[in-house]
Structure 1
Amino acid sequence: MKKPILTALLLLAAAAVFAQSEYNFQRRSLFEKLPVTSKDIVFLGNSITDGGEWNELLANPRVKNRGISGDRSSWMLDRLDPIVGGQPRKLFLLIGTNDLAAGTPAAEVVANVRKIVERFQSESPRTKLYVQSVFPVNDSFKKYAAKHGRHDADIVAVNKGLQALCAEKGIVYIDLWTLLADKNGKLRADLTNDGLHLMGEGYIVWRDAVLPYVK
Structure 2
Amino acid sequence: MKRIALLAIALLIAGTACAQAVYREQRRTLFELLPVRSSDIVFLGNSITDGCEWDELFDNRHIKNRGICSDRTTDVLGRLDPIIEGHPKRLFLMIGINDLAGGATPEEVVANIARIIDRFQNESRWTRIFIQSILPVNGRDFDAYRSHYAHADRIVPTNELLQALCAERGITYIDVWSALADDEGLLDKRYTNDGLHLLGEGYLVWRDVLKPYVK
Q: In 1, distance between residues paired with 2:131 and 2:77?
A: 15
Q: In 2, distance between residues paired with 1:25 and 1:110?
A: 25
Q: CA deviation at 1:49?
A: 0.2
Q: Which residue of 2 aligns with 1:107?
A: 107
Secondary structure, in 3 states, of the residue corresponding to 2:37?
Answer: coil
Q: Which residue of 2 aligns with 1:14?
A: none
TM-score, normalised relative to structure 1:
0.90
Q: In 2, distance between residues paired with 1:139 and 1:201?
A: 19
Q: Which residue of 1 aligns with 2:59?
A: 59
Q: Which residue of 1 aligns with 2:9?
A: none
Q: Which residue of 1 aligns with 2:68?
A: 68
Is residue 198 of structure 2 the alignment partner of residue 198 of structure 1? Answer: yes
Q: CA deviation at 1:86?
A: 0.4
Superposed, 1:130-169 pairs within 5 Å as 130-140=130-140, 141-144=142-145, 146-169=146-169
Q: In 1, distance between residues paired with 2:213 and 2:132?
A: 12
Closer, same or farther: CA 20–53 of 1 in aligned 2, 3 Å:
closer
Q: Which residue of 2 aligns with 1:44?
A: 44
Q: Count the aligned residue pairs.
A: 198
Q: Which residue of 1 aligns with 2:87?
A: 87
Can you list the C-alpha shifts for 1:22-43, whole angstroms capped at 9, x where unaligned? 2111111000000100000000
The letter for the 1-side match of 2:144 is: K
Q: Which residue of 2 aligns with 1:214?
A: 214
Q: Which residue of 2 aligns with 1:3?
A: none
Gaps of 5+ in 2: 1-17
Can you list the C-alpha shifts for 1:144-182, whole angstroms capped at 9, x where unaligned? 1x2111222200111011000000011000001111111
- Asked whether the 8 Å contact 2:103–2:151 carries over to 1, the reply is no
Q: CA deviation at 1:20?
A: 7.0
Q: CA deviation at 1:94?
A: 0.3
Q: CA deviation at 1:104?
A: 1.1
* Runs of 4+ that moved beyond 3 A: none
Secondary structure, in 3 states, of the residue corresponding to 1:194?
Answer: coil
Can you list the C-alpha shifts for 1:58-106, whole angstroms capped at 9, x where unaligned? 1100000000000000111000000001000000000000011111111
Q: Report % sequence identity.
A: 59
Q: In 1, distance between residues paired with 2:120 and 2:96?
A: 18
- Asked whether the 8 Å contact 1:152–1:185 carries over to 2, the reply is no
Can you list the C-alpha shifts for 1:113-170, whole angstroms capped at 9, x where unaligned? 00000110000000000000000000020111x2111222200111011000000011
Q: In 1, distance between residues paired with 2:208 and 2:152?
A: 24
- Asked whether the 8 Å contact 2:44–2:91 carries over to 1, the reply is yes
Alignment RMSD (CA, Å): 1.4
The letter for the 2-side match of 1:93 is: L
Q: In 1, distance between residues paired with 2:38 and 2:84?
A: 10
Q: Which residue of 2 aligns with 1:11?
A: none
